Structure 1
């Protein structure tokens, strides 16, 4: 490669308002580099989890649940995590239901590698998953094709409009049970990328998040195109939930929380091997 020619990094993330917000400065080239350029690919998180098995993208959003399966190929980036600090994916039903009644029920989920599904199984392993696109779980619940829906993304703020009832907030449950925030999604970088390029990607990712937080109005206006029918105040609330100081840098608490989550999964037999989380900056 000619030293004057920047390396193209294919960067994959989900078409959500929070991801769009944190990647805004990269997507619009507010943050630039002489070493790398970014080409953005948008796919749902379960597709990204599956493609990470093959190391398809240089930089990819993944679920923390997926990390043990791709840790041979990817390392976690300290910037870009989506963290539920006392809130998170929501288990909802058509009628009021106690958490103790969930056992044995059919649950619509967005994918078996999502962190929401891992947390759900840690809380209650005896349920029947019905996998479907994340934006169809409430439709399936409304049609009574399932007993419960595990809601991720913006549906966490809009499910009540459909008359659904909250059974459990998994982020609240995790915080109450273990005293830690629930790590949901992360950005991961191919291990095969050179240290110089990896460091540059980490710098740019962090600066992109900081730019969005420091220029919220323009970043939110950009993110609104991915807000899936949410009005601006609700989209702003959702972005604020999942793009925050933990997103800028995971610090010490998020690696601890991620390790706890994955160890719980391994101890319960939900993850085939123990994996040490590893973050780069």
Structure 2
């Protein structure tokens, strides 16, 4: 059976799914057609139920729960770190931007930004243009995800807050940013597919050097050392299995968003565990 597997074209997702893309493990009769799209495009596609398996932002899940189950493996979690709010390096110390460029309204980064500063104005830009636009002074501040969390200084930017660190201080919990979902039409195979994806992630983690060589071709603007760091930030034990703490963190995040009026649909998380 062929399944579409949609994920972001960045180093951590490339590393995560390396064993499937390069056929390193026995997939038990499943084959995977990899579809590479930015995370906000994947969030929107999930609203229509387009792909069999997809990476999405946790923020998006309440809007796609009718189509998808949440898998307990494959999550990207910031444990005390996460998306960064940045301003030009020359901005006055302590000044907070009134307007922030964000990589998509349904990104988890955007949700946490609004929890941190409810009144901040936002403008949506492609995630890979935010740094340059802020550095040029065309927007007061930017919300950086992906590799921008490691490269912002050389782009002429400075950090005013790490939203993952803020979340950890507020709640004592890690920040679940992105997860994998499985279309409900495959509900009867959900546990089997979840285990297969976990096996692929485990293979990459135990063959790290080989996986990193593959992932480096997806590492926009990162050298080998930075790519290794970035992959380590977001493909780790949390990715193998969120566990009770990770699932509780996701529920807390979405409930806070709902209570704040940011999320318009009451969150109901339907997990595939095992």
TM-score, normalised on structure 2?
0.96
Per the alignment, residue 231 of structure 1 pairs with: 223
Per the alignment, residue 221 of structure 1 pairs with: 213
* 2:37 aligned to which of 43, 54, 58: 43
Q: Which runs of 5+ in 1 are unaligned?
A: 1-6
Matches within 5 A, 1:122-133: 122-133=115-126
- Alpha-carbon distance, 1:218 to partner: 0.3
Determine the C-alpha separation between the residues in 2 that align with 1:268 and 1:209.
Answer: 35
Per the alignment, residue 22 of structure 1 pairs with: 16
Listed one character per residue, the Cα deviations across residues 164-219 of structure 1 (whole Å, up to 9, x for unaligned) are 11100000000001100000000000111141x32221111101110011000000
The question of 1:193 aligning with 2:193 is answered no
SS of the residue corresponding to residue 187 of structure 1 reads strand
* 1:74 aligned to which of 68, 74, 86: 68
Per the alignment, residue 10 of structure 1 pairs with: 4
Determine the C-alpha separation between the residues in 1 that align with 2:169 and 2:92.
Answer: 21
Decide whether aligned partners of structure 1 residues 97 and 51 sit closer, same or farther in structure 2, where only a CA change above 3 A counts. Answer: farther
Listed one character per residue, the Cα deviations across residues 70-114 of structure 1 (whole Å, up to 9, x for unaligned) are 01111111110000000000000012543xx436x1111100000
- Alpha-carbon distance, 1:145 to partner: 1.3
The question of 1:168 aligning with 2:161 is answered yes
Per the alignment, residue 256 of structure 1 pairs with: 248
SS of the residue corresponding to residue 192 of structure 1 reads helix
What CA RMSD, in Å, does the superposition of the two structures yield over aligned residues?
1.1
- Alpha-carbon distance, 1:32 to partner: 2.6
TM-score, normalised on structure 1?
0.94
8 Å Cα contact 2:7-2:13 kept in structure 1 = yes
Per the alignment, residue 4 of structure 1 pairs with: none
Listed one character per residue, the Cα deviations across residues 44-86 of structure 1 (whole Å, up to 9, x for unaligned) are 0000000000000000000000000001111111110000000
Q: Which runs of 5+ in 2 are unaligned?
A: none
